[in-house]
Amino acid sequence: MNKEPKPAPESPNTLLAQHIARQLLEQGLIGADNMAFFVRRLSEGQLREADWRAVLIARPLKGS
Amino acid sequence: MTTNDAMTQLRSLDINAFRGATRPFRLAFDPGKRITMIFGDNGTGKTTIADALVCLCTDQYGSLDDKSGADKGFLLSEGHEPEELYIQLETDAGTFTATLAGKKLRKDPADPPVTLRHLRRGSVIELATAAPAQRYEQLAAYFDLSGIVKSEEGLRNLARSTRNEQEQIARALAGVEQLLEATWKNEGSPGAGWEQWAAAELAKDLGAEQAKLNALRAALQTWERAGIALEKLNDTRAQGVSAAEARKAAEQRLAELQSASAQDPALLPLLEKALYYLNASSRDPQNCPLCRQPADHDRLLAELQTRLDGMHALREAAAAADTARTEHERLQTLWQGSLDSLNADISRLLEAATPLDKAPVFTENLNILQTPDLTPRRRAELFGELQPTLSGFLQGKSLEAELISKALDRYSLIHQNWQAVLRYRAEADETATLLHAAEAALKIAENTRKSYIETELAAISGEVDALFQALHPGEHIGGVQLFLKEKGKNSLELSARFHRHTGIAPQSLYSESHLDTLALCIFLALAKRYGDASTVLLLDDVLGACDEAHLERFMAVLREQSAHFAHIILTTHYRPWRERYGGAVDVQLVELLPWTLQVGVEISNNGK
């Protein structure tokens, strides 16, 4: 009987994107919603100026 | 630490019609051994096996990638059809197969059950001696951060454009603030400051002023219309007088002609018809058409013509009198219409003037126009008489309207500019907040990336150095450091120690065999750090001749590192390796026979 197929290893881009996203979240610069989507786009180089603008404008106010 | 149970186990590799494998080839992996050594002299098919694994498990073409201009279409063995080609790797995590589709390999499933990291002889030296950019290129697959760098650029652009936006808003804000301040100063700098003044100005209720302006404009408008109506009435009256005189003259002339000719103008059309009748050829020319008595036709015609000639002037006078009468009547109707229109405009003017402030004399004048029982004609006459006096009054009202209008325009300007100040201030606040966030996020992204790379490279450097020291104990070499240039995002530097020299480029002083092992250590360290339980290492003829001590240490290192990988496949043509490890309990030796077109790649001892 075969093993389950291996999960794809996380790339350095993904690992670093997770690090960055975690710190941005801790600093209240981004919200926790759609974090996985944000990390994926960050790691794939898909976050353009307009995307960052939308993300940073939509961030929750600290303490709220 | 990954346990052996978690490691992916290779079961077999089958190759057919691929490069040197002209006949079906099968390599059954020994389940108890994690290192497979494929030994063969040159031209036995080691590269075919290595290329098959590379082509199957990666997007690369193995040794064909090293040969500039090599045609990838020659994956198919000589004398075979494309549909015969297959490469199949069986593991305990699944079977992975490649077949030929056109000139490319079609893989099923799309993702291989193992991650293959391969190092070829051709790339060993490059890894250690290449320029930093090429070295980065070789290792990019391990710690490529291009996605992050690209997203980071988007964030940098946001910070830059937001900064520009902030400057533009600040300039626009300063402009309207200066304008308001100048207006405030022009008005004598009332109050504590221009902002308080502007706010106070805007708090004023200008509804009454606007209503007054509206009333003034309505009165002035009706005054203007009444003036035009009066002018029209006067014109019409003058034209009517002329028309009446013309009519009188025309009627008088007609009467005179009638009296002189003693003829009734009503006969004229009858006589004209009679002449027309007698001129027609079909009529009876001998008898009078009226009494039917014999008559002289020609004389009758001559008589008719004479009488008609005499009546011509009468006919023209009658027409002129008719035209003059019609014109006179038309002008009378027009005059009546103008009179009605003027009276209606006077009524509107009186109504519009009611709310206006008036001096008693003007009130009196206006009252005259409202006297009951005034005929429209008399009213119009009175209006004409009072017009010069009323004009003076309404000119004053026009100036008053102008002043109110200017005051309201000034208010509107202050209002617009103050609103702009408030809007720009709000935008400036939003932009400042966004810029602060963008700069903070950029700092986090840059620092995290830098720190990540430094941490990774420090860990890799430590591992490389440990491996290198294990291979070359007491040789006063090592101290290997991998690092990125501060500004060279895609440039990987390498430094090491050689006796008393530290921080040198290894290729400056290291021997070729030291550079070989250094490259191998870098490869192993990277594969280990970024590998997992499914990682298979393929070392394709990476080491040349070396002394027994180094050979021993190399194998010791491989044995130790094999615990971190699913499998290590080693190809070599170096015979001492075969002699030394042919019977080892933990190494599977696969010896290849010389290759022939008929037999292809063949194992001499059935894998034992």
Check whether residue B429 and residue B499 sit in a common domain.
no
Check whether residue B420 and residue B494 sit in a common domain.
no
- The answer, yes or no, to whether residue A46 has pLDDT greater than 60, is yes
Domain presence at residue B541: yes
Check whether residue B281 and residue B227 sit in a common domain.
yes
Q: Which of B391, B425, B441 is the endpoint of a domain?
A: B441
> What average pLDDT score do residues B450-454 get?
84
Distance from CA of B550 to the nearest CA of A (A): 34
Q: In this complex, do A13 and B147 lie within 8 Å of one another by their Cβ atoms?
A: yes
> What average pLDDT score do residues B572-594 get?
88
The pLDDT value recorded for residue B606 is 47
Give pLDDT tens digits for B535-567: 999 999 887 667 788 888 988 999 999 999 999
- The answer, yes or no, to whether residue B334 has pLDDT greater than 60, is yes
The β-bridge partners of B108 are B97
Give pLDDT tens digits for B504-542: 888 888 888 888 888 889 889 988 988 888 999 999 988
Give pLDDT tens digits for B384-422: 999 888 888 889 999 999 999 998 998 888 999 999 999
Distance from CA of B447 to the nearest CA of A (A): 9
pLDDT tier, B590 (very low <50, low <70, confident <90, very high otherwise): very high
- The answer, yes or no, to whether residue A25 has pLDDT greater than 90, is yes
Q: Are B47 and B582 in contact (CB under 8 A)?
A: no
Q: In this complex, do A13 and B148 lie within 8 Å of one another by their Cβ atoms?
A: yes
Check whether residue B137 and residue B247 sit in a common domain.
no
Distance from CA of B110 to the nearest CA of A (A): 12
In this prediction the pTM is: 0.60
Segment among B121-130, B341-350, B492-501, B516-525 with least mean pLDDT: B121-130
Q: In this complex, do B440 and A29 lie within 8 Å of one another by their Cβ atoms?
A: yes
As a whole number, the mean pLDDT across chain B is 88
Asked if the bond preceding B109 is cis, omega within 30° of 0, the reply is yes
Check whether residue B411 and residue B532 sit in a common domain.
no
Check whether residue B304 and residue B349 sit in a common domain.
yes
Distances (CA, A) of B608 to A17, B48, B318: 47, 20, 145
Alpha helical stretches, state H, B540-596: 548-561, 575-581
Check whether residue B489 and residue B529 sit in a common domain.
yes
Check whether residue B344 and residue B241 sit in a common domain.
yes
Q: Which residues have C-beta within 8 Å of that of residue B405, sequence separation ≥ 6?
A: B213
Check whether residue B47 and residue B12 sit in a common domain.
yes
- The answer, yes or no, to whether residue B47 has pLDDT greater than 60, is yes
Give pLDDT tens digits for B200-215: 888 888 889 999 999 9
Range of the domain at B191: 154-204+402-441
Angle at B88 between CA B83 and CA B89, to 5 degrees: 170
Check whether residue B227 and residue B351 sit in a common domain.
yes
Q: In this complex, do A6 and B113 lie within 8 Å of one another by their Cβ atoms?
A: yes
Give pLDDT tens digits for B213-226: 999 999 999 999 99
* Chain A residues inside the 8 Å CB shell of B162: 53
Q: ipTM beyond 0.95?
A: no
- The answer, yes or no, to whether residue B101 has pLDDT greater than 70, is yes
Domain presence at residue B374: no
Nearest by CB to A24, from B146, B157, B441: name it.
B441
Q: For residues B283 and B281, give the distance between their C-alpha atoms in angstroms, rounded to a whole number.
A: 6
CATH code where residue B111 lies: 3.40.50.300
> What average pLDDT score do residues A50-59 get?
91
- The answer, yes or no, to whether residue A4 has pLDDT greater than 70, is no
Domain presence at residue B479: yes
Q: Which of B322, B356, B390 is the endpoint of a domain?
A: B356
Give B 447-486 residues with CB within 8 A of chain A.
Answer: 448-449, 452, 456
The pLDDT value recorded for residue B69 is 58
Check whether residue B264 and residue B305 sit in a common domain.
yes
Q: In this complex, do A16 and B149 lie within 8 Å of one another by their Cβ atoms?
A: no
Domain presence at residue B539: yes
Q: In this complex, do B441 and A44 lie within 8 Å of one another by their Cβ atoms?
A: no
The pLDDT value recorded for residue B87 is 96
Domain presence at residue B56: yes
Check whether residue B18 and residue B72 sit in a common domain.
yes
On whether any CB of chain A is under 8 Å from the CB of B289, the answer is no
Domain presence at residue B606: no
On whether any CB of chain B is under 8 Å from the CB of A19, the answer is yes
Q: For residues B18 and B237, give the distance between their C-alpha atoms in angstroms, rounded to a whole number.
A: 117
Long-range CB contacts (< 8 A, 24+ apart) of B335-338?
B335/B233, B335/B236, B335/B237, B335/B240, B338/B229, B338/B232, B338/B233, B338/B236
SS3 content of chain B, % helix, strand, coil (to 5): 60, 15, 25
Q: Tell me the DSSP string of chain A.
A: -PPPPPPPPPPHHHHHHHHHHHHHHHTTSS-STTHHHHHHHHHTT---HHHHHHHHHTSPPTT-
Phi-psi region of B150 (alpha: psi -120 to 50; beta: other; left: phi over 0): alpha
Q: For residues B384 and B463, give the distance between their C-alpha atoms in angstroms, rounded to a whole number.
A: 113
Domain presence at residue B535: yes
Angle at B361 between CA B359 and CA B367, to 5 degrees: 105
Domain presence at residue B379: no
> What average pLDDT score do residues B34-43 get?
92
Give pLDDT tens digits for B139-179: 766 777 889 999 999 999 999 999 999 999 999 999 999 99
As a whole number, the mean pLDDT across chain A is 84
Question: What is the tally of structural domains in chain B?
Answer: 3
Q: Tell me the DSSP string of B355-410.
A: TS---HHHHHHHHHHT-TT--HHHHHHHHHHHHHHHHHHHHHHHHHHHHHHHHHHH
